[in-house]
Chain A
Amino acid sequence: MSAATTHPAIASKPDSSNTNPGPQENLVSLEDLPVGRRGVIVSLKDEFAYLYLLRLGLVPGAEVELVRIVSRGTMRILRVDSGELALRSESARGITVRLEPRQ
């Protein structure tokens, strides 16, 4: 059995209570999330390759905030729940988030 099919985070697809299918324009790639904005992860493109990200908490339903962009745009610093991660921008491209309203 491949690891991708057994991973609990993948098995539990975002249910409707958690990720309300809002207007289409609210869904953006994590790469396009503006600095300081919060979003909730809706899906990851290639689930097997992204297994590593799932482990670090980048799972559907997790809240992310773009803290800053570094290294001339090649790296993004994210807050995921209460921890911070650095993610290469190209990896952020495959993650879709729903923009949360500004606070």
Chain B
Amino acid sequence: MNSPRTVALVGPPNVGKSTLFNHLTGLRQKTANYPGVTVEYRRGKLRKTEVEIIDLPGIWDLSPASEDERIAVSVLTGDIAGLRKPDAVIVVLDATQLLRQLPFAQQIVALKLPTLIVINMADLLDRRQGHLDPLALAERLHAPVALVSANNGRSLEAVYRFVDRKSTQANLLPVLRPTSSSKEITGWSDRGRLTTEGVYRRPLPAHWSRRIDSIALHPVFGPLAFLIVVMLVFQFIFRVGAPLSDATTRAFEWVGTYLHSVIPAGFLRSLMVDGVWAGVGSVLAFLPQILCLFLVIAILEDSGYMARAAVISDRTMRRAGLDGRSFLPLLSAYACAVPAIMATRVIPNRRDRLATILIAPFMTCAARLPLYTMVITSFVPDRHIVGDLLGLRATIMIGLYVIGLIVALITAKLLRSSILDAGGKLPFVIELPEYRWPSPKSVLTYLFNRGKIFVVQVGTIIVVLSMIVWLLANLPIHHGQAADIGHSYLAWIGRAIEPLLRPLGLNPKVGIALLTAFVARESIVSTLGTLYGTEAVGHALRLDIGFAGAMALLVFFAVAMQCTSTLATVRRETGTWKWPILQFAYMNTLAYGLAALTFHLVR
């Protein structure tokens, strides 16, 4: 009866809390968001038991200054709707950082819940010739202490025993039982005493990490190493992720063609094959790229290099008012904004993270390229500007990338000085964890969880949104057949917005194509082909909208928010519809204004 049914896991970031959590629960875990906030937590069942473990966000302190801390405190006091107050708490600390982390443990002990202090990274403490006497520390903390190493599983039995104990009177190691009745915790926070009394000996500096840092943070080699890492990341995503995504798309198309041949023609076939099946396919096509990006991120994070990369890129990023850790997510948005936005989780500061999420879709993603290529090759003469070095076409292409980047940087500045104003300058600091080999187990668990979140939580929204656009493009039904896109509700909407398109020099056909691009940007070229009834889309466009209209179309495409998958991801990552709706309105208004301006100037 008395067996603890919920155990909360708390601790500062970078202490191996997740590794411990994975160890305790295996894959019997799920990731969830607290209602209405960006803060994420994981819950899972202890192996072979029904005891639930909640992994709280990493925090340094219980003073409710950040959203993470507010959430953690509410969980510990049982003030979160739908979550029981935990029956016990496990505090995880880093053995090599004990002096500065102990005040946190004292705060938790003061909550007077049954508490186990887990001092992790015992292996590192040993290697760096530090020392800790867990029994002496337990006496001083009035709480049981276990010195463990979650990485290799050393001494974890004590943790299992604590979590799974059948009664509140612990049959833990008897010596670890709290001494006497918990009196007021005496102020031994005097860090010197722990050392002089022989309870703790601080480890020596991490020599290997210092040595690696003398290159990784070197004024010349540091940025160089950083660029090499970035290039490798990109090579990996484009050489491995993108082909796998293409293969997934082809596989879905192949099965779709097969389904087409076995299901009798009619609206139902069209709905099942072109609507539902294609929708599911578009979700799964993202998966290889997402997993590739997250594999790289997990390795960079786990090895400790990510923090150094943030230090190196901070000088550039701060000019835009962003955090050094925004760099990698923003860079990966050049491939696709969806994994990029999911990757912003590495940014601990909520405001910086939100700013990065909001500007990521301005980066020129791969799905914009088919239209860029088509329009540029049909409208721009193949002329040289700087000898053989730079052609006019390439210049315009680069220009489109630059437009996206400039708009993103201006937006970041605007955000930082308005809705995401931090209320004064906050000091910027990054912890530099010791380098270590990434643990395959925690990397794989991370990948599994991220993949699951994308497919289950983002995928469903993508399928629903793309079904809506598909229905608009295929209804009403005439004689049991889906409407031709030129006579669908979507076409009707396209004609209705014609007055809006005129200032951009565009017509309803392009308008309809732009509307269908909301499901997948890259599909715009084939939609235009269907609408004009020709494969030579460029030629048809040239007769129809002219050079000025084409340039306006490019600018609109560069800036507009036209991706339901991105919106769905933003919804998932921010926990509310507020941000995706705001982003949608802002980006499209801006795109419209800039496109109108372009048309006006070029004409």
Contact = CB atoms under 8 A, between A and B. Distances in A.
A88 B65 contact: no
Interface stretch (B426-434, B520-528, B538-546): B426-434
B425 interface: yes
B217 A91 contact: no
B432 A85 contact: yes
Interface in B177-219: 189-192, 202-203, 205-206, 209-210, 213-214, 217, 219
B64 interface: yes
B428 A88 contact: yes
Interface string B56-88: 000011011100000000000000000000000
A51 B101 CA distance: 15
Contacts of A87: 427-429
Contacts of B190: 18
Contacts of B107: 8
Given A12-B189, A55-B61, A56-B60, A88 B202 contact: no
Contacts of A72: 219, 315
A55 B427 contact: no
B97 A85 contact: no
Interface in A44-66: 49-53, 55-59, 61-62
Contacts of A28: none
A53 B428 CA distance: 8
B100 A57 contact: yes
Contact of A70 (B99, B209, B311): B311
Given A49-B424, A51-B65, A91-B427, A57 B315 contact: no
Interface string A67-102: 110111011010111111111100100100000000
Nearest to B422: A49
Contact of A71 (B60, B99, B189, B312): B312
A52 to B, nearest CB: 6
A81 B202 contact: yes
Interface residues of B, number: 48
A6 interface: yes
Given A59-B100, A82-B97, A49 B429 contact: no
Contacts of B202: 81-82
Given A8-B189, A52-B427, A55-B60, A81 B100 contact: yes
B391 interface: no
Interface in A3-47: 3, 6-9, 12, 18
A13 B545 CA distance: 72
B431 A77 contact: no
A84 B213 CA distance: 11
B217 A56 contact: no
**Which one of B96, B99, B429 has the greatest number of beta carbons of chain A within 10 Å?**
B429
B222 interface: yes
B314 A82 contact: no
A6 B64 CA distance: 10
A56 B426 CA distance: 14
Nearest to B349: A52
Contact of B315 (A59, A71, A81): A71
Interface in B498-547: none
B311 A56 contact: no
B396 interface: no
A62 B100 contact: yes
Interface in B1-50: 12
B130 interface: yes
B307 interface: yes
B103 interface: yes
A87 B324 CA distance: 12
Contacts of B61: 7, 55
A53 B100 contact: no
A94 B429 CA distance: 13
A36 to B, nearest CB: 12
Given A49-B424, A50-B427, 14 more contacts: A3-B63, A12-B189, A53-B429, A58-B429, A75-B314, A75-B315, A77-B217, A81-B100, A81-B191, A86-B310, A86-B314, A87-B428, A87-B429, A94-B427
Report, nearest first, the 3 A-B pairs whose CB atoms are least far apart. Answer: A57-B100, A91-B427, A55-B60
